[in-house]
């Protein structure tokens, strides 16, 4: 039997109070007593008052009840709470002691309004979590390929009494170079697998998901529930990060002194004295935040010229970082005539592919087959055309990944295609010839992975094409005279080079994690509760 600070016996534990700290000690196992305990006649400290707690092999229910003695906390202990407790805490508070008991012995608690503290046993309980995410599965593929085709004639022609089918032809594409990136975002399935792995299925444990309602119900022990809560908060914070992508797709008609391409080494200052960061971001190479890059053949540092010796391999993926579109456009105007082809702006979530497509699809003939039907002495040949749509316009495929510091890693796949129609004459022998409108495609396309700071601009250039045109002029009537007509006409040939430049600026939205802050309550349903309650982490 232990004594209080005033010498009165207290059943099972001794309590001594002194301001500002309250001392609760139990030097030996708590003994049961049939006599009523005398009340503690001492001033109660504040709810945040500190005290020492030392118990040895004490019944858990009595430890929790005595924690609230002399404080403003009302301890409500579940009848199912059992077991014994041994621990020693110095200068602690009631919430800190409850956290320690939960961490060490698994007892769960909930602090409700009116300083009510509900204590639950270390047993399987049910909690409900809400996740804000769309149901469904999202798949995407980004593909860049260089291919050549060969035409193969099959021998599967057929003949019947009334019809004859000519041998079929097929076109086989042979890829000489290909870059493919695929993504498969099945968020709810991944959450189901992860939670089931964490919780298991033994002892009444289970995980139930309702993607349409955004609800996850977990039956597990309190310790496992805390792990589930931490996991769900982490993934909700990650998937809720959002980035605004601003892009400008620019075509520069190069001047004569810039025929080798835009001279990026001349771009030293980016407004207000800011220095551009320049680097090589060809396939498989990442532009670092500092701007220094390296691969097996070259190393490029910020501020150094990268034109000399870099055109052969790195110029295709040339990139740099800055913070303003205006300065970049002004610089490009010094290299030639600038035309902004498109200025798309789109927002997307973390690790989610965003695709922008502006243009039109036109149908072109891609295959011809014939069938001949014979009836008596006559036959009818019917051609069958295979049509396929070709896209002409601008497409931009971007997938961002945002880290905790707000830096963005981008997978960028821009493409500009121009499809024109060319008439081809196809000789079908006895069936005559056909004039078919076939597709002729001109495309500028690149596929890169870059890393850029929040609010900075990454530029990808080096996509050049050569154009030439011939003009003929002369004096009407005289320029066509035989022999002397050349004296009255002239011919001129002009050539030009155009370079495609893509500027992309990612701006992280809500990078502070406001989508699900660390102190936001998690809705839960605890054993014995009639209504869902709010569980908030204690300080």
For residues 259 and 235, membership in a common domain is answered with no
pLDDT for position 129:
93
pLDDT for position 510:
66
Sheet with 215-220: strands ordered across = 125-130, 215-220, 206-210
Of 69, 97, 122, the last residue of a domain is 122
pLDDT for position 515:
34
pTM exceeds cut of 0.95 = no
| Measured distance CA(32)–CA(25) in Å, rounded | 16
* Contacts of residue 446, Cβ cutoff 8 Å, sequence gap at least 6: 144, 316, 317, 412, 413, 414, 415, 460, 463, 502
Name residue, tokens 């708590």. 30
For residues 257 and 368, membership in a common domain is answered with yes
For residues 32 and 152, membership in a common domain is answered with no
For residues 130 and 254, membership in a common domain is answered with no
pLDDT for position 176:
59
- Contact between 140 and 353 under an 8 Å Cβ cutoff? The reply is yes
Instruction: Give the residue among 256, 267, 297 at the shortest CA–CA distance from 280.
Output: 297
For residues 351 and 364, membership in a common domain is answered with yes
- Residue 55 phi/psi, 5° resolution? -130, 150
Cα angle 369-370-371, degrees, rounded to a multiple of 5:
135
Peptide bond between residue 20 and the one before it cis (omega within 30 degrees of 0): yes
For residues 277 and 383, membership in a common domain is answered with yes
For residues 421 and 524, membership in a common domain is answered with no
Which domain does 55 fall in, by range? 2-122
Please tell me the total count of domains within the chain: 3
We report the CATH number of the domain holding residue 89 as: 3.55.50.30
Structure tokens at 147: 């291919």
pLDDT means over runs of 10, the chain (539 residues):
34 37 42 34 48 90 88 90 91 91 89 90 90 83 64 46 48 61 83 91 91 92 90 89 87 76 66 42 44 42 35 37 70 83 86 86 78 76 80 87 87 86 76 75 82 84 73 73 73 77 85 38 37 36
For residues 188 and 265, membership in a common domain is answered with no
For residues 226 and 281, membership in a common domain is answered with no
For residues 83 and 73, membership in a common domain is answered with yes
For residues 200 and 279, membership in a common domain is answered with no
For residues 138 and 236, membership in a common domain is answered with yes
Of 90, 122, 154, the last residue of a domain is 122
Name residue, tokens 């005398």. 38
Structure tokens at 186: 């099945």
Name residue, tokens 């798949």. 139
């Amino acid at each position: 039997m232990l004594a209080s600070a005033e010498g009165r016996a207290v059943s099972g534990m001794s309590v001594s109070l002194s301001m500002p700290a309250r001392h609760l000690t139990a030097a030996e196992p708590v003994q049961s007593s049939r006599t009523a305990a005398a009340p503690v006649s001492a001033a109660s400290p504040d709810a945040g008052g500190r005290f020492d707690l030392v118990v040895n092999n004490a019944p858990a229910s009595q430890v929790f009840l005595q924690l609230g003695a002399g404080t403003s906390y009302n301890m409500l202990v579940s009848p199912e709470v059992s077991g014994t407790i041994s621990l020693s805490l110095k200068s602690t508070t009631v919430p800190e002691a409850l956290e320690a008991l939960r961490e060490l012995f698994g007892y769960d608690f909930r602090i409700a309004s009116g300083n009510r503290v509900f204590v639950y046993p270390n047993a399987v309980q049910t909690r409900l979590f809400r996740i804000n995410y769309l149901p469904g599965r999202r798949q995407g593929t980004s593909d860049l390929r260089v291919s050549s085709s060969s035409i193969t004639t099959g021998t599967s022609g057929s003949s019947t009494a009334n019809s004859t089918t000519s041998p079929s032809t097929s076109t086989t594409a042979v890829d000489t170079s290909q870059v493919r990136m695929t993504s498969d975002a099945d968020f709810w399935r991944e959450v189901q697998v992860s939670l089931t792995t964490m919780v298991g299925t033994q002892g009444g444990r289970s995980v139930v998901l309702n993607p349409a309602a955004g609800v996850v119900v977990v039956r597990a022990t309190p310790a496992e529930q805390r792990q589930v809560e931490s996991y769900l908060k982490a993934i909700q914070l990650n998937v809720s990060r959002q980035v605004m992508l601003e892009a400008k797709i620019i075509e520069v008609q190069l001047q004569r002194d810039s025929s080798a391409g835009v001279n990026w080494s001349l771009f030293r200052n980016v407004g207000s004295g800011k220095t551009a960061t320049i680097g090589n971001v060809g396939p498989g190479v990442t532009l670092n935040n500092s701007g220094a890059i390296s691969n097996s053949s070259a190393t490029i540092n910020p501020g150094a010229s990268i034109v000399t010796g870099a055109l052969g391999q790195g110029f295709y993926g040339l990139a740099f970082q800055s913070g303003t579109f205006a300065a970049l456009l002004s610089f490009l105007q010094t290299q030639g005539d600038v035309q902004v082809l498109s200025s798309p702006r789109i927002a997307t979530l973390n690790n989610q592919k965003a695709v922008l497509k502006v243009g039109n699809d036109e149908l072109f003939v891609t295959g011809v087959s014939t069938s001949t039907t014979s009836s008596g002495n006559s036959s009818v040949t019917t051609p069958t055309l295979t049509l396929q749509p070709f896209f002409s316009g601008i497409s931009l495929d971007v997938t961002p990944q945002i880290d905790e510091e707000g830096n963005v890693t981008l997978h960028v796949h821009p493409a500009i295609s121009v499809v024109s129609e060319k008439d081809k004459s196809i000789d079908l022998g006895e069936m005559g010839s056909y004039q078919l409108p076939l597709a002729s495609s001109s495309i500028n396309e690149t596929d890169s992975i870059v890393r850029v700071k929040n609010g900075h601009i990454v530029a990808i250039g080096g996509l050049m094409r050569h154009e030439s045109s011939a003009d003929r002029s002369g004096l009407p009537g005289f320029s066509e005279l035989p022999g002397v007509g050349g004296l009255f006409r002239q011919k001129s040939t002009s050539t030009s080079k155009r370079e495609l430049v893509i500027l992309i600026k990612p701006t992280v939205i809500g990078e502070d994690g406001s989508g699900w802050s660390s102190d936001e309550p998690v809705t839960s349903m605890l054993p014995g509760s009639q209504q869902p309650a709010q569980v908030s982490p204690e300080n």
